[in-house]
Structure 1
Amino acid sequence: MQRRHLLQALAASAALPSFARAEPARADLARLQAHLRFLADPLLEGRETGTRGFDLAAAYVASQFAQLGLKPLGDGGSYAQAVPLKTSRLAAPSPVFELCRDGRWERLAWLDEFSTRADMRSTHSDVSAPLVFAGYGITAPRFGLDDYAGLDVKGRIVVVLSGRPPGMPNEEGAHFGNARTKQELAARHGAIGLVTLATPRSEIVAPFHLARQYADSTAMDWQATDGRGGSEVPGMLAVATVSVQAAPRLLVGLGRGYAELVADVEAGRPLPHGALGLDARLVRDSVHGQACSHNVVGLIEGRHPRLKREFIVLSAHLDHLGKHGDVVYPGAIDNAVGIATLIEVARLQAPRPAPLDRSVLFVALTGEEKGYLGSTYFARHPPVPAAALAAAVNIDMPILLHDFKEVVAPGAEHSTLGPAVSRAAGRLGLQTAPDPQPEQSRFTRSDQYSFVRQGIPAVILGPGGASFDAGEDGNALMRDFRRQRYHQPGDDLAQPFHWRAMQRFATLQSELLTELGQQPERPRWLPGSFFGELYGRPGG
């Protein structure tokens, strides 16, 4: 009770009017640190969507927006945009995944050889069907790839390799290698399920053993007005992942061993496709429920009579993984740093004597760790006319552990956001650089992609590997974070943050916002952009 009152007092004090409204030239490091320390404190229990810890964090953000004078753009005159949620968690006994060849059944071991999530549609799901191998499960004519050519997968479960073929352009490859993209394509061909095989390459990005960490977590989806899950892929009744160790057991019917198949992939040789000569059965029992979380939305209205009706979105996700048993996952870099940056950029922009020409929506998003739920809901149900959303800039997990002098901007090359990023970075003495970790597929793995799918040009910024300090290897530090602390309890306040880098990063975000808010032309997709052609809106 005493802790609860303390937190309420902290939130209330932050909402008091501020009389020191002078705009600093650069981000205020002390403020950034203060936000970070509150948001990543173990008292918030990892800020999992739908929990008290998340609600406390959201109240904190709302109070900061109120202090800065942002206009509330949530429901009923508040800062909170409610996101209705469906929930589902696996029930005992554990899920069952079986293979049948020539009338003989064999069972794969749960979490050692296969993983799956709770079913959002049914409390009891029992799906059986023949297996068909479809390479990577990608159809991309511009890259000469069609894994479904000549295949009949109607009523079957498609088996695909994780990710995308080596050599595909990074961001386009990230789209085609995305699990949801593969499910949607399989469903369009009439498949009823998708089994993804882990590969040595995918083990680097998302090791299979991490499935144990999420086995008891609650799956969520935003709830449409008809009661369905808003992210549901119609027709996809069975979805599972199989480990590197168990994958060869599914591919015996190809006449080519798993190791040979992987070697063919790396060498760029064509893969065999076709029926695997076995059936699979996936059985799951799930417990359903409902919840509600919310995005936190504040507005700084533009000054230009016409351009103020165009909105730039600056977003960051507020949620993290919560706690498992007594172990808290604080999510300091992922993504308390992002929210601290969001609040500080709002402070830099709010006290301007003359606001930007365009309006800016500052949005703290829920449910990113549950599948980009808050951003998907917001992009589809914005509090302003959907056609008025001109661009989205997202802040997610900037790994600020070195004195970075390069900026990486996935998505920038596809729209006029790219030149804007270069100009903003240049004013701070920074260069733009290619993504040093393209295998992470960052452009399709965070909230900015929810806006892209609605035809809105978007970008996400992060530090490059080069450092102003010749003794630092930024790439090594970022790789070490991903290996040792990403989605682990060690992503906490004890990490060796580079404070000057955090200050520079927040300043950069503010400079980019100024650039986008003042340029005469509305951000648009570039001619020939893959994402512009796939999702772009007329005139967008």
Structure 2
Amino acid sequence: MWRFVPKAGGRSVRRVASHLVKTHPHQVEKSSTSTRRPMRLLLATILATNAAFSPAAIKAHITFLANDLLEGRGTGTRGHRIAANYVAAQFAAAGLETSFQEVPFRETVASRDSTVTLTRDGAEPVTLRAFESFVTQGDPLQDDRTIDAPIVFAGFGITAADQNYDDYANVDVRGKIAAVFPGAPPSFANAIRAHHSSSLNKIENAAKHGAIALITLESPKEALRSPWERVTRQSKLGTMHWMQADGAPHAVNPSLSAGVGIDLESTKWIFGDEADAVFASLDAGQPKAKPLAMSARIHLISAHRNLTSPNVIGILCGSDPKLRDEYVVYTAHLDHLGITEPVNGDAINNGAMDNGTGIASIIEIAKAFAALPQRPRRSILFVATTGEEKGLKGSDYFANNPTVPFESIVADINIDMLMLLHRTRDVVVHGIDSSDLGDMARDAAKAMKIEISADRAPEEVVFVRSDQYPFIRRGIPAIFANVGYNAVAPGIDMAEETKVWRRTRYHSPSDDLQQPLDFDAALLPIELDFRIGLAAANRDARPKWKPGDFFGQTFGRSR
């Protein structure tokens, strides 16, 4: 079986196609009219499933995107705009219809003069300083806001009727400040745990129960997973919300627009002698919500400005007259953190792994689709999103304001932060059990003779932390694949190395071109994603949620 590297313009593909036509005329040229289109699709599939993606091409894209000259590709910055033009040029060179979707943002940055004052009954107040003992991204609605109210501990801040679980069942947070921990009970299935761990869902749930502010607490495990220095450095950048047609920032509840996160020492101070017991209850998935004998005065000073930043769109029109108006979407975020306070003298967060890898992948997948002699039946739509590091905002904007009719979007395949530490024999596929995209992933893995491994880091809840999640919330089946754990080279513990990378390089200037990167490691998830998209584009039926799936039941019924 031959293998080929797709070239821009598809010349190598056409050569192989010509060879097949000459050597198999009885299958192609002599087929009847009724079977000719299926035979052409078969030919395209044969070619596609023998495609070899190039590590050199992946490296070339990442080398450009992670260069210091792009200054970390921060949302709304010149560096991001340069990167967007690069991606558009790559899409156009492959023959895609290319455009920019300008996303209108309102940026909010908190002042270091913001404070949180905690007062325990009968004790002197303790004042926490912004970006020292607490972090905040400010209030998106007000320049200067003060909230003074009692604090109620609300466990994980989750209400999950399907799990017979409700942190708010025995407490009243109306007109009060809810204090919650990140995460969800470890007994929840991975997908459900990920959904309920979403900070957006926790904010929505607190507001639904009448809270007027939210304090996010820190546990010892969270402090180890996400170092406080990194949390404060990123929080100083602020946040963004896309602006609705009525001029209001999207997904901001006026009754609960203020939130802060406090460090481990302050969390221990709040619980006092009960701190260890509280932390143990989190591990057991059974925190006991209760009113705390203290109040908080949250004073937030915020600066605001309006700006725009583009999603980059590329469309490859499908070949089927009936299905070409339906779209399989590929997403990958183009933005990263930009420039922050320096770490070891380096202030540029280059984002080589996060997410130069994903953008390189969708560029090469776009080229592979464009190089096929027979285009897929459905159209393929690529979105290099902005604002992911601000909370999936560019993807959320597209999912709510798509450049094609919303009902025409049949699936999303997202690519984010491929872990190019070592080559593996397997992949991890998030969302594999939620929709029949998972069946397509299994078929692709079987054809590729590779394994699909279970997620070994469910605490990272990645299925709600990347750009597939806004599509899921709108009822669109989605999937997200990454490098697995079974390294080709002996003696490598990929799970441990991934944890170390997340702790030491994730969202830091050291995620750059100086770190060791194995570009060959990208090949398995890229080919898998390509095969999934090809299958979804060519079959008669749209991808659909599995019967009884949590996400399908929660969001899919609206479609």
- Using structure 1 for the length normalisation, give the TM-score: 0.91
* Aligned-pair CA distance for 1:217: 1.0
Residue aligning to 2:90: 64
Of residues 102-111 and 484-493 in structure 1, the stretch that sits farther from structure 2 once superposed is 102-111
Report the AA paired with residue 339 of structure 1.
I
Residue aligning to 2:363: 343
Report the AA paired with residue 494 of structure 2.
G
1:517 paired with 2:537, answer yes
Residue aligning to 2:32: none
* Aligned-pair CA distance for 1:456: 0.5
1:396-418: CA deviation from partner (whole Å, max 9, x where unpaired): 00102111111111112111111
Residue aligning to 1:108: 128
Residue aligning to 1:487: 507
Corresponding residue pairs, total: 513
1:282 paired with 2:302, answer no
Residue aligning to 2:140: 120
Residues 478 and 271 of structure 1: is their aligned pair in 2 closer, same or farther, counting only changes over 3 Å?
Answer: closer
Q: Alignment partner of 1:412: what SS?
A: coil
Residues 320 and 271 of structure 1: is their aligned pair in 2 closer, same or farther, counting only changes over 3 Å?
Answer: closer
> After superposition, where does 1:288-327 map in structure 2 within 5 Å?
288-324=304-340, 327=347
Distance of 1:257 and 1:307 partners within structure 2: 60
Distance of 2:10 and 2:547 partners within structure 1: 46
Distance of 1:18 and 1:363 partners within structure 2: 19
Distance of 1:234 and 1:174 partners within structure 2: 26
Q: Alignment partner of 1:198: what SS?
A: coil
Q: Alignment partner of 1:520: what SS?
A: coil
8 A Cα contact 1:416 1:525, kept in partner: yes
Q: Alignment partner of 1:166: what SS?
A: coil
Q: 2:67 aligns with which of 38, 41, 50?
A: 41
Report the AA paired with residue 316 of structure 2.
I
Distance of 1:322 and 1:246 partners within structure 2: 29
Q: 2:80 aligns with which of 54, 78, 97?
A: 54
Gaps of 5+ in 1: 1-16, 73-78
Distance of 1:262 and 1:159 partners within structure 2: 14
* Aligned-pair CA distance for 1:94: 3.8
1:317-343: CA deviation from partner (whole Å, max 9, x where unpaired): 000011125621110000011101110
Residues 167 and 92 of structure 1: is their aligned pair in 2 closer, same or farther, counting only changes over 3 Å?
Answer: closer
Distance of 1:150 and 1:212 partners within structure 2: 33
Distance of 2:404 and 2:445 partners within structure 1: 29
Residue aligning to 1:22: 12
Q: Alignment partner of 1:324: what SS?
A: strand
Residue aligning to 1:186: 206
- Using structure 2 for the length normalisation, give the TM-score: 0.88
Report the AA paired with residue 96 of structure 2.
L
Distance of 1:504 and 1:355 partners within structure 2: 22
8 A Cα contact 2:314 2:381, kept in partner: yes
Report the AA paired with residue 520 of structure 1.
D
Identity of aligned residues (%): 38
1:266 paired with 2:283, answer yes
> After superposition, where does 1:155-234 map in structure 2 within 5 Å?
155-234=175-254
- Whichever of the two has the greater Rg, that structure is 2
* Aligned-pair CA distance for 1:512: 1.8
Distance of 2:384 and 2:509 partners within structure 1: 22
Residue aligning to 2:440: 420
Gaps of 5+ in 2: 1-6, 14-49
Distance of 1:454 and 1:267 partners within structure 2: 32
> After superposition, where does 1:339-418 map in structure 2 within 5 Å?
339-418=359-438
Residues 18 and 498 of structure 1: is their aligned pair in 2 closer, same or farther, counting only changes over 3 Å?
Answer: closer
Report the AA paired with residue 257 of structure 1.
E
* Aligned-pair CA distance for 1:209: 3.0
Distance of 1:389 and 1:400 partners within structure 2: 30
Q: Alignment partner of 1:387: what SS?
A: helix
Q: Alignment partner of 1:489: what SS?
A: coil
Q: Alignment partner of 1:159: what SS?
A: strand
Residues 423 and 91 of structure 1: is their aligned pair in 2 closer, same or farther, counting only changes over 3 Å?
Answer: same
Q: Alignment partner of 2:101: what SS?
A: strand
1:210-241: CA deviation from partner (whole Å, max 9, x where unpaired): 22212431321111112211131341133111
Report the AA paired with residue 268 of structure 2.
P
Residue aligning to 1:239: 259
* Aligned-pair CA distance for 1:305: 2.1
Residue aligning to 1:143: 163
Of residues 258-267 and 439-448 in structure 1, the stretch that sits farther from structure 2 once superposed is 258-267
Residues 128 and 62 of structure 1: is their aligned pair in 2 closer, same or farther, counting only changes over 3 Å?
Answer: same
Distance of 2:303 and 2:78 partners within structure 1: 21
1:237-271: CA deviation from partner (whole Å, max 9, x where unpaired): 3311122211133235xxx6010111233245x43
Residue aligning to 1:3: none
Q: Alignment partner of 1:246: what SS?
A: helix
Distance of 2:294 and 2:112 partners within structure 1: 27
Distance of 2:116 and 2:282 partners within structure 1: 30
Distance of 1:249 and 1:278 partners within structure 2: 11
Report the AA paired with residue 393 of structure 2.
L
8 A Cα contact 1:102 1:278, kept in partner: no
Residue aligning to 1:75: none
Residue aligning to 1:11: none
Residue aligning to 1:82: 102
Of residues 143-152 and 335-344 in structure 1, the stretch that sits farther from structure 2 once superposed is 143-152
* Aligned-pair CA distance for 1:127: 0.8
Distance of 1:502 and 1:125 partners within structure 2: 47
1:454 paired with 2:470, answer no
Residue aligning to 1:4: none
Q: Alignment partner of 2:276: what SS?
A: helix
Q: Alignment partner of 1:296: what SS?
A: strand
Distance of 1:414 and 1:166 partners within structure 2: 19
Q: Alignment partner of 2:282: what SS?
A: helix
Residues 259 and 488 of structure 1: is their aligned pair in 2 closer, same or farther, counting only changes over 3 Å?
Answer: same
1:175-222: CA deviation from partner (whole Å, max 9, x where unpaired): 112111111011011111111111122223323332221243132111
Residues 174 and 504 of structure 1: is their aligned pair in 2 closer, same or farther, counting only changes over 3 Å?
Answer: closer
